[in-house]
Structure 1
Amino acid sequence: MMLSFSRVLAFAAFLVLPPGQGAAGPNLFAQAEKVPPYEERLLRLSEIIGSLHFLTLLCHPEQGQAWHDKMVQLLEAEATTLLRRAKLIERFNSGFSGFQTSYRTCTPSATTALERYVGEAQVIVQNLTSDFSG
């Protein structure tokens, strides 16, 4: 199954122009952003989610926007400033586009990548939960 350019473009527009950036959204004028100790892991997780979103659309389109929805949840929880939001989205888009340049159809290697990335995402989430919860 090949993704149409218009479908990819619509998805990209959704990420670039998200709703709800009013007064309750991230602070545009935040001075010095305090970077949490788990920032690199969170950025990696964002990249993995972007990869999983593309690979799932390619290999399991019936699952729809599940990974995109997880990214939206991550942004709602962690994007405390527009700069941080932009970094997380950039990594998501990087993961998405990285596989988009390599795969046009679902192949055995795409399925293997999907499985490996799910495993890596689970490890990151488990480690974040055990290291920083409570």
Structure 2
Amino acid sequence: MAATPSFPYETRLNVLHKSLEVIDEKALADACEFTWYNQTLCKVNDSVVRLGVVQGEYHWHKHDQDEEFFYVVDGLLLIDLETRTVELSPRQGFVVPKGVMHRTRAECRAVILMVENAGIVPTGSSTSHP
């Protein structure tokens, strides 16, 4: 799925690697030319691991049926919740529970990994600001 005017992010839901293949996250991130990029790397059981190369703000949203795990590889990721902002540095992770309104943002380029249900809609089920 390519970027659209309503969600100007480069989101690729195709599974890039199968089981038993080596995944070179650094090479993929280094080659990325997009400001906000999301690529599904692999499937693990009923979940997927996605690479995010991000800078700027994602829109406010929530996932009514799914949790999301964010893990920072490089840079600094901020996760805004309705009541607080969580700051993640490299080698730190955080789970956003299902139904919780949130947005991710990075003032400078950050590289992250996300683990989520394979059927999740990355843009969320609601775009209202808290």
Bigger RCO of structures 1 and 2 (CA < 8 A, at least 6 apart):
1
Q: Which has the larger radius of gyration?
A: 1
* Structure with greater helix percent: 1
TM norm structure 2: 0.24
**Could you state the TM-score of these two structures normalised by the residue count of structure 1?**
0.23
